[in-house]
Amino acid sequence: MRILLLEDAPALGEAVRDQVAEEGHAVDWMQTLGEARACLATTGYDLLLLDLWLPDGSGLELLKHCRRAGNTTPVIILTARDQISDRIAGLNAGADDYLVKPFDLSELSARIAAVARRYAGNPNPLVKVGELEVDLVSHSLSRAGHGVELTAREWALLEAFMQRPGALLSRTQLEDRLYAFGAEVESNTIEVHISRLRKKLGRDAIETVRGMGYRLGQA
């Protein structure tokens, strides 16, 4: 997924960014509302991780503005505000989940995965496509009963396809899933990862539509 992290505390921001990036997601880490607004205006995100106390204003107001504008991007609030009234305010403003600091990074990962599944229309973490059986929680995969190991970026691509079954995804859309702002992207990187996935999942696992992109097939 392409994730926007809005957190002004350097130590926590770095820890969250690294944790989420290690799982294969592309993370753009911003520390002010102004930076976040610029990102949201130019980039489509799959998830927003939102702090409420920021140097130039309230993250809650940003959330309200996004929802009023019709932005349906999933939002998980990350905040030290632990009062029930604060949680209610965040959820009523349109947040999908609310995590109180300090929190365990593995819990954050689980909540990110759960929100992503809900928005993909399938809250069940166990997915079967042809011969493939995928556990989106444990990141385990088997093909015809045999375990298959994937790299973090291969997982990120597979999740992108499984979240939109049957949809055609362009190379640019897939690159956005893998790389944050400023990251160097080689011209053939998607083709390389697709080729590796096919070797592991089967030749028909991912279909190429010439000049347009790729979509999930039947492995």
Does residue 142 share a domain with residue 84?
A: no
For the chain, how many structural domains are there in total? Answer: 2
Does residue 87 share a domain with residue 160?
A: no
pLDDT digits (tens, 9 = 90+) for 186-203: 778 889 999 999 999 888
pLDDT score recorded for residue 121: 66
pLDDT score recorded for residue 93: 92
Q: State yes or no: pLDDT of 219 exceeds 70.
A: no
| Confidence band, pLDDT 50/70/90 cuts, at residue 19 | very high
Does residue 114 share a domain with residue 13?
A: yes
Number of neighbours of residue 75 by Cβ within 10 angstroms: 27
| Confidence band, pLDDT 50/70/90 cuts, at residue 218 | low
Does residue 27 share a domain with residue 96?
A: yes
Element (H, E) at 123: none
Does residue 78 share a domain with residue 17?
A: yes
Q: What is the DSSP letter of 61?
A: H
Does residue 159 share a domain with residue 103?
A: no
Q: What is the DSSP letter of 145?
A: T
Does residue 36 share a domain with residue 130?
A: no
The answer to whether the CB of 122 falls within 8 A of the CB of 136 is no
pLDDT digits (tens, 9 = 90+) for 136-181: 777 788 988 889 999 888 888 888 888 777 788 888 888 887 776 6
Domain limits for position 152: 126-216
Does residue 90 share a domain with residue 67?
A: yes
pLDDT score recorded for residue 58: 92
Does residue 93 share a domain with residue 136?
A: no
Give me the phi and psi of 169, to 5 degrees please: -110, 125
Does residue 108 share a domain with residue 35?
A: yes
The answer to whether the CB of 17 falls within 8 A of the CB of 40 is no
216 or 108: whose pLDDT is higher? 108
Does residue 113 share a domain with residue 6?
A: yes
